Amino acid sequence: MKRSNPLAIFAILSLCAVARAQTVSVTLESPQQGQLVAPSATIAWQITFTVSNNDNAGLALLVCDLVQDTANPALIDLPPADAVPAGMSNFSRPAGISNPGENGTDSGYVGVQRGTTGAMNLIQIGGGQNTFGQALTGAGIAENANVLPGVGQGGTVLLAAGSFAAPSACGDYNFSLANVVANVLQQANDPPAFSPVVQATTDTSAATLSFTVGLAGDLDGNGTVDLADLAALLANYDTPSGMTYADGDLDGDGDVDLSDLAIMLANYGSTC
Amino acid sequence: MLRNTILAIAGLLLLAHAAPAEQNIVRNGSMESGDGPGAIDPRIPDGWTTFGINIERSGTVNFAPSDGAWSLKSFGDADNNAAGAFQEIADVSPGQSVTASAQLFSPANDKLGGSGQAGLVLEFLDIFGGTLSLQQVYPFDAASPADTWVPATIGPLTAPSGTAKVRVTCRLQWSPGNVFGAVYWDDVQVSIDGGPNAVVNGDFEVAGHSPGQSPNGIDEWTGFGDQEKSQDVAEDGASSLKFGTREAYSGLFQNMGALNAGDHIYMLAWAWNPSSDPLTDNTRVGIKLEFDANGDVPPPEENLAFDESVPANQWTQVQLNTVVPPDVTIARIVCIYVGDPQTTGAVHFDAVSAERGSVPGVNQLANESFEAGPGGANGLTDWTEFGSPGVAEAQKSCFEVPAQDGICTARAWGESVAGLFQEITVTPGETLDLSAWLYTPDFEPLTGSGRAGLKVEWAVGGVPDDIDIGGATNTLDASAPTDTWLPIYIDYTMPAGSSALARYTCIIEKGTALSGTVYLDSCEAVVLNRYDGADVDGDDDEDMIDFAAFQRAYTGAGAATLPFNGLTFDHDADQDVDLDDWGFFWPRITGPAQ
């Protein structure tokens, strides 16, 4: 067993003395944020991040869970995210380090489903760079030893995006990011030197997603498709574009037309 | 400044050996326990299984740095080619770093000669006992110096995939007819490293609302007194634990789960004594290992199959096969007789055995055939008798009936309960197979509702004394260097027969000081013998949360000191987290468990 050099220890420990404040800010966004949507409507989401400047050399690792509030009116299986964004390939297998893929995928970067069937969350979305200065060629993981510096320091970066169908039960729904873990590079070195990393503080103050599911046609969200909703739709009838659900665009095609009216009339008088 | 630097270096020199200790998992490696002296097999060291003819526990020579006075002796014979002793150890997992070592000796007046070679063999075995790999060294032969202890070392080796246990063998080999002299082994060790960090949020990075702490408290810990999460300084991450001296005692604690006999825990933390408000007077700060009682005692088990229906004048075997319940560390093996006022006759016990799954083939009971002891009340060596004198008793009996083994038995009789027992150390989860031979003679046959057989009673073991602050390695006081991180640690092995809930406590004792602040960070506790791969958070998977910690702990080859969580990731125990450790880690990424 090698003996430690006390002078070297002293020098290194002295460098560790000052507290650090590298920060990775993570955001969960959706076009449906705060909106009233119809049952089964598509809820698109994306997770983005930025990394603080001047105190690190960019993102080394970021993983987080997309979870549903257990108090939601109904629970669903959150499907994995879409493909790995182009700018994040160094964080996903085979170039980078991510969980093993599931359901026929090579990489778990898009998240893995965990929890009770029918209520599964999406766990550990994201991955890390190979910061060890050596490529594991042919291993299917960490095959790129070149560290990409400055990730997240030049503006907002997309970590992952996906979508799911809104549950059929009416009510308010909340989703959030949990277990957010981020490492940042202290410095980015060329192989074979390794690149040291430190844990970053994570800011998740904007990492929630909320929407309300209502009866198709319940434009004002009062739980009933009634005359007020019909009047609102008719006020926008034949508007060809730019319409929202609250305007009467029940099929999500941007206009208010006969198909929207048919959806409303099918539920007319119903209470959620 | 120069003075502080010198003090800091001096302090670090004192604490520089705070590297993780290895866990020796060999039982009775110094040969101090067992039968003897000087007699040939079966008087062998406890825990060891011998092979060959001339192998014995000996009090002739002893390796001085090791405690005691005993060693293992072997010498050759004309008809064979090897002799020795081995021990199989189940506390090893695939990927684990394993090192075996021993000391060998041959005296000038009986020097090993001819073709004799003595050494050490280390085998990795699968769950069925098959050999996965084998390494052996023979550093001692006719050319070796006399009267000198010569070391033998194998490893460190990485346990191959499928490893369930290792077998270490002290072996003397020779060409038939060409050997003379004797060789001795002592201080046999097999060491392992690694394990998950048993402390959650040990670097105090996660704030929270755990009970009993200050408004700036810390998740997973329970606090008391003058303590808070601080970002003034940090050894890892951005936060640490800050202690003040407003209260007589202040601290945080966290329960880590149960430790059992033989568990080897290594606790580490880093402390910072700020020059701006240093410790004064008799203030002491450190880490404690506290214990509490662990669990309820499981009910006993018994097999009272021997009764009046069993024919007289024949030995009948009674068996009891069980699994040691959780937390149990002591099993009381009881030969029991249960009579009542209608019972007549007597029952004889003989050839009793208790075999642990972790030590197959070894009877854990001493004086198992009741040969030793003067007889009479409590007259059986190693056994404790119980009963009611004159009503029901169990005592040594020789020549009354033909013994199953030897010439003596234990005879029980009477109108109540009587018997004998011995206690043995056991490990939770292992099998325990008991056997005894019972006999009732036709001149006093068992009648009525009397029964006899085997019983096992369990004990969860004793609660060790706390490891309090004040020790040389786990405490800082006002003499500590300022403005540098200082390691403090506890290296502790649970004693035989113990089982307890363990608690990691960071604490400051104010004493008479009127001022002073200290910071603690990077608290780790690794149970070295409970190796769990690279699962640093101990949640039985290896996923991106574990990898995030590995990436931060990475030092490259030749690090000056292990960083936070380095205890877990330094698989090859070379005091760094480098590509070799990464090579171990990455194939094992499983993703999060369901």
Three-state SS at B129: coil
Domain end (from B150, B166, B192): B192
Mean pLDDT of A145-161: 97
* 8 Å CB contact of A181 and B272: no
Q: Are B174 and B83 in contact (CB under 8 A)?
A: no
DSSP summary character for residue A131: -
CA distances from B167 to A164, B98, B189, B359, B490 (A): 55, 11, 11, 11, 29
Cβ–Cβ contact A5 with B under 8 A: yes
CB contact under 8 A, A21 and B594: no
- In this prediction, residues A243-261 reach a mean pLDDT of 93
Amino acid at B286: G
**Which of these, B576, B216, B210, lies nearest to A5 by C-alpha position?**
B576
Check residue A272 and give its pLDDT: 72
User: Coil, strand or helix: which one is B154?
Assistant: strand
Would the pLDDT of B414 be above 90? yes
Instruction: Judge if B436 and B334 occupy the same domain.
Output: yes
Cis-peptide into B42, omega within 30 deg: yes
Bridge partner residues of A63 (DSSP)? A126, A181
State the amino acid at position B85 in one-letter form: A
* Overall average pLDDT of the B238-264 stretch: 83
Q: State the Cα–Cα distance between residues A16 and A140, nearest whole angstrom.
A: 35
Which residues span the domain enclosing B165? 23-192
Interatomic CA distance for residues B359 and B94, integer angstroms: 20
| Local structure of residue A217 (DSSP, 8 states) | T
**pLDDT, tens digit (0-9, with 9 covering 90-100), for A128-144:** 999 999 998 888 999 99
Closest-CA residue of A relative to B581 is A132
Domain for residue B345, yes or no? yes
Most confident of B37-41, B179-183, B535-539: B179-183
CATH at B52: 2.60.120.260
Instruction: Check if A4 contacts B (Cβ < 8 Å).
Output: yes
**Residue B9 above 50 pLDDT?**
no
What is the spatial distance between Cα B560 and Cα A31, in angstroms, rounded to a whole number?
A: 51
C-alpha closest to that of B364 among B333, B391, B400, B390: B333
pLDDT band at B17 (very low <50, low <70, confident <90, very high): very low
Lowest mean pLDDT: which of B70-79, B253-262, B580-589? B253-262
Tokens 């998992």, residue located: B25
CA distances from A195 to A71, A133, B282, B329, B431 (A): 43, 7, 43, 47, 49
Is residue B544 classed as helix, strand or coil in its secondary structure?
A: helix
* CATH architecture assigned to A19-213: Sandwich (2.60)
- Is residue B110 in a domain? yes
CA distance A173 to chain B (A): 24
- Tell me the CA distances in angstroms from B128 to B90, B98, B241, B248, B301, one per residue in order: 12, 20, 48, 57, 28
Question: Cβ–Cβ contacts within 10 Å for residue B177, how many?
Answer: 12
Residue B116 included in any domain: yes
Q: What is the pLDDT of residues B25-58, one digit of tens each?
A: 555 555 655 554 333 444 567 777 888 888 887 7
Backbone angles phi, psi at A17, to 5 degrees: -70, -35
Domain ends where: B148, B176, B192? Answer: B192
Rounded mean pLDDT of B187-209?
65
Q: Do B450 and B588 sit in the same domain of this protein?
A: no
Domain end residue (candidates: B516, B531, B546): B531
Handedness of CA B30, B35, B38, B41 (dihedral sign): negative
Decide: B497 and B330 in contact? Cβ < 8 Å. yes
Q: Both B355 and B373 in a single domain?
A: yes
pLDDT tens, position by position, B303-316: 999 999 999 999 99
Residue B561 at interface with chain A, using a CB cutoff of 8 Å: yes
Question: Is A15's Cβ below 8 Å from some Cβ in B?
Answer: no
**Cβ <8 Å between B575 and A4:** yes
A124 touches chain B (CB under 8 A): yes
What's the pLDDT score for residue B10? 34
Q: What is the pLDDT of residues A46-59, one digit of tens each?
A: 999 999 999 999 99
pLDDT 10s digits, B370-379: 999 998 888 9
Instruction: Give percent of chain B above pLDDT 90.
Output: 41
Q: What is the mean pLDDT of residues A60-69?
A: 97
pLDDT at residue number B13: 32
- Residues B205-214, mean pLDDT to the nearest whole number: 56
Report the residue count for chain A.
272
Q: What is the predicted pLDDT for the residue at B96?
A: 65
| Separation of first and last alpha carbons in chain A | 71
Check whether residue B364 and residue B455 sit in a common domain.
Answer: yes
The pLDDT of residue A39 is above 60: yes
Same domain, B401 and B538: no
Q: Which residues of B touch A13 (CB under 8 A)?
A: 235, 484-485, 561
Q: Would you place residue B433 in the very low, low, confident or very high pLDDT band (cuts 50, 70, 90)?
A: very high
Q: What count of Cα atoms within 13 Å lies in the side-chain half-sphere of residue B380? A: 28
Three-state helix/strand/coil letters over B194-258: CCCECCCCCCCCCECCCCCCCCCCECCCEEECCEEEECCECCCCCCEEEECCCCCEEEEEEEEEE
* B18 inside domain: no
Tell me the domain boundaries of chain A.
19-213, 227-267
CA atoms within 13 A on the CB side of A244: 10
Q: Tell me which chain A residues have a C-beta less than 8 angstroms from the C-beta of B238.
A: 19-22, 199, 201
State how beta strands A208-213 and A36-37 pair: parallel
Going by DSSP bridges, is the β-strand pair B182-192/B71-75 parallel, antiparallel, or unpaired?
Answer: antiparallel
Q: What are phi and psi of B450, to 5 degrees?
A: -65, 145
Distance CA A136, CA A92 (A): 14
Q: Tell me what percent of the residues of chain A surpass a pLDDT of 70.
A: 93
Residue B340: CA count within 13 A, CB half-sphere: 6
Contact, A122 vs A78, CB < 8 A?
Answer: yes
Could you tell me if A136 lies within 8 Å of chain B, comparing CB atoms? yes
Model confidence band, residue B3 (pLDDT cutoffs 50, 70, 90): very low
Distance CA A48, CA A29 (A): 8
Q: Measuring CA to CA, how many Å separate A194 from each of A20, A267, B67, B582?
A: 21, 62, 45, 12
In this prediction, residue B259 carries a pLDDT of: 83
Any chain B CB within 8 A of the CB of A241?
A: no
In-domain check, residue B229: yes
Look at residue B580 and give its three-state secondary structure.
helix
pTM, two decimal places: 0.55
Whether residues B377 and B430 fall in one domain: yes
pLDDT at position B217: 59
Q: Which of B22, B427, B18, B19 is nearest to B194 (CA)?
A: B22
**Residues B575, B449 within the same domain:** no
**B27 and B174: one domain?**
yes
Three-point CA angle B487, B491, B492, nearest 5°: 155
In a domain, B8, yes or no: no
Residue B101 lies in a domain: yes
Model pLDDT, residue B70: 76
B144 plus B83 within the same structural domain: yes
> What's the rounded Cα separation, in Å, for the pair B354 and A173?
61
- Asked if residue B569 and residue B430 are part of one domain, the reply reads no
When the pLDDT of each residue in chain B is averaged and rounded to a whole number, the result is: 83
- Kindly list the residues from chain B whose CB atom is less than 8 angstroms away from the CB atom of residue A6: 9, 12-13, 16
Residue matched to tokens 């077998």: B167
pLDDT at A252 over 90: no
The pLDDT, as a whole number, for residue B66 is: 47
A76-85, A127-136, A207-216, B527-536, range with the lowest pLDDT: B527-536
Same domain for B92 and B174, yes or no, is yes
Kindly state whether residue B9 falls inside one of the protein's structural domains.
Answer: no
**Same domain, yes or no, for B84 and B33?**
yes
pLDDT score of B367:
96
CB-based contact A181 B548, cutoff 8 Å: yes
Q: What does B456-470 look like in DSSP terms, one character per residue?
A: EEEE--BPPPPB-TT
Residue A259's region, left for phi above 0, alpha for psi from -120 to 50, else beta, is alpha
How many residues are recorded in chain B?
594
> Based on the structure, what is the number of domains in chain B?
4
